[in-house]
Amino acid sequence: MSVQERKQRERAERERLIVATARELAEQQGWDAVTTRRLAERIEYSQPVLYSHFRGKREIIGAVALQGAAEMAAAVRAATSAADGPRERVAALARTYLDFAAHNPAVYDALFQLDGGLAYAREDTPEPLKDAFEALLESLGEVAGGGVHPALFTEVFWASLHGLATLTRSGRLLPEDTAQRVELLVSRLAVA
């Protein structure tokens, strides 16, 4: 291995460490606790080293969001591939999405609430975000119904899931009623 390859590998490892540490700190204490100073202390590198990877907290949030999008897409695909039939896939998708939001609140915030400097719903949207949407579209497109554009239906269904996730997390909806909400959403919106 050349010196250049070793340096690139070490740089990638430092970047992974920064993102993992930011994510861990955000999940434990919230995003307000994530500062470059605290990250530098936790990973035992100087702040200039952090800034050599990320210009600031916004880019770190973006990196966590991209990682989270990939994880969410994988979880949705795993759940839907194990389900039998279109409605069952949609129900599995909804449960998985809501579970992901509940178990990864800081990542979910990085994806959908905070400014990570990422473009959404545009040509320059990063691939992990496009792929996460595609993971939803794969199951939702088949239940959109006649005359309804599958991507538009996916946006509406996703918005419904997002509303359920955020309202439940904020205590405005009772978590014990989540299964009933999923069933209602699937039975009313998924027509196939």
pLDDT digits (tens, 9 = 90+) for 130-157: 999 999 999 999 999 889 999 999 999 9
- Locus of tokens 């907290």: 57
Percentage of residues of the chain with pLDDT beyond 90 = 92
HEC assignment per residue over the chain: CCHHHHHHHHHHHHHHHHHHHHHHHHHHHCHHHCCHHHHHHHHCCCHHHHHHHCCCHHHHHHHHHHHHHHHHHHHHHHHHHCCCCHHHHHHHHHHHHHHHHHHCHHHHHHHHCCCCCCCCCCCCCCHHHHHHHHHHHHHHHHHCCCCCCHHHHHHHHHHHHHHHHHHHHCCCCCHHHHHHHHHHHHHHHCCC
pLDDT band at 167 (very low <50, low <70, confident <90, very high): very high
When pLDDT is averaged across residues 11-39 and rounded to a whole number, the result is 96
pLDDT tens-digit profile of 74-119?
999 999 999 999 999 999 999 999 999 999 999 999 999 999 999 9
Q: What is the mean pLDDT of the chain?
A: 95
pLDDT on residue 54: 95
Q: What pTM was estimated for this model as a whole?
A: 0.93
Please check whether residue 97 is in contact with residue 139, taking contact to mean a CB–CB distance below 8 angstroms: no
Does 35 score more than 90 pLDDT?
yes
When pLDDT is averaged across residues 168-192 and rounded to a whole number, the result is 91
Measured between alpha carbons, how far is residue 22 from residues 32, 51, 56, 68, 166 in Å?
11, 14, 12, 13, 22
pLDDT on residue 3: 87
Does 192 score more than 80 pLDDT?
no
pLDDT on residue 190: 78
